[in-house]
Amino acid sequence: MRTRKLLYLSLITAIGIGLQIVENFIPVNFVMPGAKLGLANISNLVTLVVFGFKNALIVSILRTIVGTLGSGAVTGFFYSFSGAISSTIAMWIMYKNFNKYFSLIGVSIVGALFHNMAQVLVASIMINNWLIFTYLPFMMLTSLFTGCFIGLSSNYISKHLNKIIGKERLYE
C-alpha cells in the first residue's frame, strides 16, 4: 500500500471515528428514540467512492471498533458494526451496478435503510423479541432524511477530495 493512499485512508478513518464519538453527544432523540444522523457514515461513502469497496470495508470496520472503544458504549458496538458492514455492502452494490440511475444521495439512502434493517435485526436477536421490527418503518422514514444529508455531504467531499488527490489513481 502506498504511503499517500495510507495517509488519506488513515485521515478518513480518524475523521469517521471523531464524527462517531461527537455524534453520541448530539441529542436527536426528540425525532425518534435511538435515531442518529449517521455522520460517521460519511467516511464510509467517501472511501467507497474515492478508494473502492475493499478500503471502504476496512474503514468501516476500524471506525466502528475504535469509535466504540472511544465512546465507551460497548453494547452499541453490535448495532454499529452490523449497520456499518451491511450499509457499506449495500452502498457498494448500488454504486457499482446502479450509479447511472442513482446519485450518491440515492446510494446513501439505500445504505441508511440497510443500516437500520441490520440494527433492528441485531436488536431483535439481543432482546429476543421480534416485535421490535414494528419500529423499523419509523426508522426507515428517518433514514430517508439522514441518508439524503449524508449523500449530499459525501458528494461534496468526494468531488473535492478527488481534486486534491489529483488524477493519480489510488484505487485498489
Q: Is the pLDDT of residue 149 over 50?
A: yes
Q: Is 13 exposed, middle or buried (0-12, 13-18, 19+ CB in 10 A)?
A: buried
Q: Is the pLDDT of residue 30 over 70?
A: no
Residue 172's pLDDT is what? 43
- Whether 89 is covered by a domain: the verdict is yes
Confidence band of 85 (pLDDT split at 50, 70, 90)? very high
CATH number of the domain within which 35 lies: 1.10.1760.20
Residue 133: all three cell numbers together: 421490527
* Local confidence band at 16 (pLDDT 50, 70, 90 cut-offs): very high
| Residues 103 and 54: beta-carbon distance below 8 Å | no
Q: Is residue 95 part of a domain?
A: yes
Query: Looking at the domain assignment, is residue 171 inside a domain?
Result: no
pLDDT class for 28, splitting at 50, 70, 90?
Answer: low
Number of domains in the chain: 1
pLDDT of residue 4: 84
- At residue 171, does pLDDT exceed 60? no
Q: Would residue 172 count as lying in a domain?
A: no
pLDDT confidence of residue 73: 73
Domain of 23, in residue numbers: 3-165
Summarize pLDDT for 130-146 with one digit per residue, the tens. Answer: 898 988 898 899 889 99
Is 73 contained in some domain? yes
Q: pLDDT per residue over 94-104, tens digit each?
A: 999 998 999 99
CA distances from 12 to 139, 150, 157 (A): 27, 15, 11
Tell me whether residue 64 is in a domain.
Answer: yes
pLDDT given for residue 150 in this prediction:
94
Higher pLDDT among residues 117 and 162, named by residue: 117
Answer whether 14's CB lies under 8 Å from 126's CB: no
The continuous run of DSSP H or E covering 27 comes out as none
CA distance 89 to 95: 10
Does residue 166 surpass a pLDDT of 80?
no
